[in-house]
Amino acid sequence: MIAEATTMSAILSWGLDVVRGAQSHASPTLTFAMKAFSLMGTEFCFLAILPLVYWCIDKRRGLRISVLVFLSTAINLRLKLFFAQPRPYDLDPSLGMAKEHTYGLPSNHAMTSAVLGGSAAPLFRRPWGLVIALAFPFFVGISRIYLGVHFPTDVLAGWALGAAVVGLDALLGDRIELLMSELRESLAMAIVAAVALCMNVLSRNETSLGGAFFGFAGAAILARNTAPFSAEKGGVWKKALRYLVGMATVAIVYALPKLLLAELEAGGPPLVRFLRYALVGAWVAAGAPWLFLKLGLAESEPHSASEKEGSEISK
């Protein structure tokens, strides 16, 4: 135990030296750039990127990336609680250029940016997919060290875990996706509910994540029949308008219940927060696409085997 504590102390001491070394080059311009890179690893950035992919680029890939981000974040939160490691500014307050309310190991910014960059790589032509898969998490992770919110080991662990998630998706993702598409709707929904429950068990104080996953993944299953839209079809301007309308409605769906349920959510059961985020996830996956179809901002696509066969015969 003493040897382990000594080793950990040495690692953290080395990490503090790395952070101090990075901040020795601090300047207003560099700090601004690092804060911008750090922002790219937040939920606000993902909230902007994931709907863009799902609505306007590749619906199937957008769903898959979103699920991976949700699951990796849940894993990360559980690991933070397990390791309960302080952040650099907890040991040296002078290093804190930013603050967080959770433990440090592993870095969620590094992990989720690695998952997002790696899982989105197939959307780009070579070699740009590889460049994005490496550069995006690299700059996000480096920014977290510079800002004093993570030790280098936190970031390295986040990158490794993110790469592991992307690797598992490459090996098993297609099979799981095919299995889910072939299941009865009720059974697929039951699996989504079970996963959401596990996410809540892993992080009992953060039910928003499980709620967002349940709403998004569950509504995506229902949207096969209720809002079978095509993300690929449509010109640039139609897609841009689709995205703007979608994000505007997401903002309303997010903000309005938050205002109405603020007091109940603050002192009420975690279920309230779960349901509020489930509503946001469901709107992104099915509500907004339904609106796009009604407004003529998206075209419908065949969603059943018979319809697909019919469309192929007509061609």
* Residue 208 pLDDT: 86
Cα-based distances in Å from 37 to 14, 34, 42, 90, 130: 24, 5, 10, 22, 19
Write down the pLDDT at residue 254: 85
CB 41 within 8 A of CB 112: yes
Cβ-contact 188, 217 below 8 angstroms: no
Query: DSSP 3-state assignment of 29?
Result: helix
What confidence category does residue 309 fall into, taking pLDDT thresholds of 50, 70 and 90? very low
- Say if CB 226 and CB 205 are below 8 A apart: no
pLDDT of residue 126: 80
> Greater confidence, 11 or 303?
11
Contacts of 1 (CB under 8 A, 6+ apart): none
For 266-287, the pLDDT digits (tens) are 555 677 788 889 999 999 999 9
310 has a pLDDT exceeding 90 = no
Treating both helix axes as pointing N-terminal to C-terminal, what angle do 128-146 and 28-39 enclose, rounded to 10 degrees?
120
Model pLDDT for residues 80-127, shown as the tens digit of each residue = 989 999 999 999 899 888 888 889 999 999 999 999 999 998 888 888
**H or E stretch including 305?**
helix 305-314
The rounded distance, in Å, linking the Cα atoms of 36 and 30 is 10
What pLDDT was estimated at residue 302? Answer: 65
Max CA separation in the chain (angstroms): 74
Whether 312 has a pLDDT exceeding 50, the answer reads: no
Helix (H, G, I), strand (E, B) or coil at 300: strand
Backbone φ and ψ for 98, nearest 5 degrees, come out as -150, 165
- Residue 234 confidence (pLDDT): 86
pLDDT score, position 30: 94
